[in-house]
Amino acid sequence: MSTIVTTAGRTNEEFIENAKRIATELSIPYMKRKKQSVKTMQEAYQLDILVVNKERLELHAYGVTTPFFFHPNSAAFRLKRLLKGEHDVFLQATNLQKGDRFLDTTAGLCSDSIIAAHAVGDTGNVLSCEVNGMIAYIVFKGLKNYQTEFNELQSCMRQVDLVHQDALEVLKVAESNSYDVIYMDPMFDEIIEESSNFETLRKIGEHSLLTEEWMEEAKRVARKRVVLKAHFRSEQFQKFGFRQFERQTSKFHYGVIEL
């Protein structure tokens, strides 16, 4: 056991029942808040605390100062730019088309998957894999329940299918050429200071580097291309034969293997 569930400071019977239901779904204990601060509960139990608020779930990881919760993040303003006719470098790298099948092997907050959903449209398919169970649960609930007046954004979030699975295991059982684009955005092996909003995600998420097996399976399953996003100094571009798209004003680059 590494996590317990509780409610927000101000709660009612509805929130309590919801917290208990979530605890049952995740097979982890529910603890009454008893007007304690999250920090006090963390110190008492020395565990992560999943707080059930009215509008979202917040994971307060033990020893981390900022909580992890779902938010469409950069996908919101990126989508607004796309609707104005501006370009998106992720879509340039993936070259997604209407009706394409897209597999994101490193879901995280699913920002890129949301943009992919816009690109492939209603006839396409977007599947995202997240190996960390708690991140997967919080983001899955966020994708399905987050409310916004930005209708296109909400539609794209609902279209993303997020699964709690190891990406390599998903690739191994997938048929050859069954996805048009395979995408991978592993935790950067070098910290990008401007990305401070990902502090908690970096600390609780998986930090797996690409492997030969992962790459071979990705190339087998992809019909059009495999795309990597990584720090511009990453050795993975050259190691695995990616054609690196250099971006002078950005600390991360995209790499493409066309099939």
* Structural domain boundaries in the chain: 3-60, 74-258
> What integer pLDDT is reported at residue 187 of this predicted model?
64
Q: Are 186 and 224 in contact (CB under 8 A)?
A: no
What is the per-residue pLDDT for 205? 54
**Residue 146: CA count within 13 A, CB half-sphere:** 27
User: For tokens 């101000």, what's the residue?
Assistant: 10
DSSP string, 32-101: --TT--HHHHHHHH-SEEEEE-SS-EEEE-TT-SS-B----THHHHHHHHHHTT---HHHHHH---TT-E
d(C-alpha 166, C-alpha 208), whole Å: 11
Predicted confidence at residue 93, as pLDDT, reads 96
Cα 24 to chain center, whole Å?
A: 23
Let me know: does 131 contact 207? Beta carbons within 8 Å: no
Domain 3-60 and domain 74-258, same fold? Reply is yes
Alpha carbon distance 17, 22 (integer Å) = 9
Q: Which fold has domain 74-258?
A: Rossmann fold (3.40.50)
Assign 250 to helix, strand or coil. Answer: coil
CATH of domain 3-60: 3.40.50.10480
Cα–Cα dist 47/43, whole Å: 8
Question: Could you tell me the pTM of the whole model?
Answer: 0.91
Per-residue pLDDT of the chain (259 residues; tens, 9 = 90+): 589 999 998 888 888 999 999 999 999 999 999 889 999 999 898 999 999 988 899 999 888 888 889 999 889 999 999 999 999 999 999 999 999 999 999 998 999 999 999 999 999 999 999 988 999 999 999 999 999 999 999 999 999 999 999 999 999 999 999 999 999 988 645 444 444 445 556 666 555 678 999 999 999 999 999 999 988 888 899 999 999 988 878 888 999 999 9
